[in-house]
């Protein structure tokens, strides 16, 4: 903000060119991270919700059939409901993850399949590559919500052959107010039309990428931070290993704790998300005690995903959610487990 301050694509002076270079570099870093050939296929958004809405509202016709995972976020379910989509929800399998094999039974006239890669409630990991294989055979476009997986799990769009939507402020370690989509085999209508810095003489929206979707001034300050976050993720290959170790320790500790019920305890593969409930306390009470007495930040309730809680039988009270990150330590997990045990079994 102090050293550049220019608007990308809005002028030819050196500060504007520096700003454009930052945006270009950020696209390239994210493209490399997901193994995409063309950085211009990375469309900047303000969050995953905007990206999901671009694809859903731009591709799904009113009343059209759409199949979704059993643990979709409201950023998927609300636009689908608003459009009157005919929603088919995949069942959970015996582990507590989406039964992707059931996609083989969906109608061929399904307009879109949407799969949440990692549940933001249970941490369940969906087999997105199997989903891609089935959808490709049926010639149905596939959208993956990578909100909990980008930057943590390896995602290869050359193998996946699916569109992606994701935020910048989670696994990519960027600032809030950033995100992106990657489009595969689809070109939905833009959510917003306006100035792009290109084809200014035309009253029609430029059809070239990324301008077709990026009307208005970009959040260059956020994108500069997202660039540094993406660079950090690319050079620190141990992130998934560290988070898996921390989450495994946390899951095991909670599952062995008296009066605690872990959501989807049979998962064999999980992301760095775990939620639980207690017999004798409301989730909000537990979260408040963790915050006030132990300075442990967590979230309670429905986590903007009532669909997931309905599938897991934790409606209407929800759960307490803990999400270890790569900057946490094993000692942090020990302290958290001790705190939860003292709060619940006091």
Q: What is the pLDDT of residues 73-123, one digit of tens each?
A: 999 999 999 999 999 999 999 999 999 999 999 999 999 999 999 999 999
Give the strand pairing for 42-45 and 179-182.
antiparallel
Residues in the chain, overall count: 346
Domains of the chain: 14-235 (3.40.640.10), 239-344 (3.90.1150.10)
Coil, strand, or helix at residue 232?
Answer: helix
CA distance 335 to 119: 25
pTM: 0.95
CA distance 194 to 200: 10
pLDDT for res 133: 98
pLDDT for res 346: 79
CA distance 263 to 256: 13
Per-residue pLDDT of the chain (346 residues; tens, 9 = 90+): 888 888 887 777 888 899 899 999 999 999 999 999 999 999 999 999 999 999 999 999 999 999 999 999 999 999 999 999 999 999 999 999 999 999 999 999 999 999 999 999 999 999 999 999 999 999 999 999 999 999 999 999 999 999 999 999 999 999 999 999 999 999 999 999 999 888 889 999 999 999 999 999 999 999 999 999 999 999 999 999 999 999 999 999 999 999 999 999 999 999 999 999 999 899 999 999 999 999 999 999 999 999 999 999 999 999 999 999 999 999 999 999 999 999 998 7
Helix (H) or strand (E) holding 245: helix 239-255
What's the first-to-final CA gap in the chain, in angstroms?
Answer: 50
| CB distance 165 to 172 below 8 Å | no
| CB distance 66 to 80 below 8 Å | yes
Where residue 165 falls (left for φ over 0; alpha for ψ -120 to 50; beta otherwise) is beta
CA 197 from chain centre, in angstroms, equals 29
């Amino acid at each position: 903000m102090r050293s550049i301050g220019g608007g990308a694509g809005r002028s030819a002076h050196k500060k504007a060119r520096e700003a454009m270079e930052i945006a270009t570099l950020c696209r390239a870093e994210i493209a490399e991270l997901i193994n995409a050939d063309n950085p211009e296929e990375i469309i900047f958004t303000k969050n995953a919700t905007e990206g999901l809405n671009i694809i859903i509202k731009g591709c799904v016709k009113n009343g059209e059939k759409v199949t979704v995972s059993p643990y979709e976020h409201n950023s998927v379910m609300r636009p689908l409901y608003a459009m009157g989509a005919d929603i088919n929800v995949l069942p959970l399998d015996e582990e507590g993850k989406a039964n992707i094999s059931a996609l083989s039974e969906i109608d061929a006239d399904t307009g879109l399949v949407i799969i949440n890669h990692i549940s933001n409630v249970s941490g369940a990991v969906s087999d997105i590559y199997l989903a891609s294989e089935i959808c490709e055979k049926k010639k149905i476009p596939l959208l993956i919500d990578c909100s909990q997986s980008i930057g943590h799990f390896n995602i290869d769009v050359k193998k996946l052959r699916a569109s992606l939507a994701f935020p910048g402020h989670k696994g990519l370690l960027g600032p809030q107010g950033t995100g992106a989509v990657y489009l595969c085999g689809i070109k939905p209508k833009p959510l917003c039309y306006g100035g792009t810095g290109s084809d200014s003489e035309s009253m029609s929206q430029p059809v070239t990428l990324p301008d077709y979707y990026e009307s208005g001034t970009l959040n260059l300050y956020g994108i500069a931070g997202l660039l540094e976050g993406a660079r950090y993720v690319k050079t620190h290959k141990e992130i998934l290993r560290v988070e898996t170790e921390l989450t495994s320790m946390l899951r095991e500790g909670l599952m062995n704790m008296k009066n605690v019920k872990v959501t989807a305890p049979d998962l064999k593969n999980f992301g760095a998300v775990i939620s639980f409930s207690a017999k004798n306390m409301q989730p909000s009470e537990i979260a408040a005690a963790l915050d006030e007495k132990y300075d442990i930040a967590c979230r309670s309730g429905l986590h903007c995903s009532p669909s997931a809680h309905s599938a897991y039988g934790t409606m209407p009270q929800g759960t307490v959610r803990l999400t270890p990150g790569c900057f946490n330590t094993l000692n942090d997990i020990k302290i958290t487990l001790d705190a939860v045990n003292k709060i619940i079994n006091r």
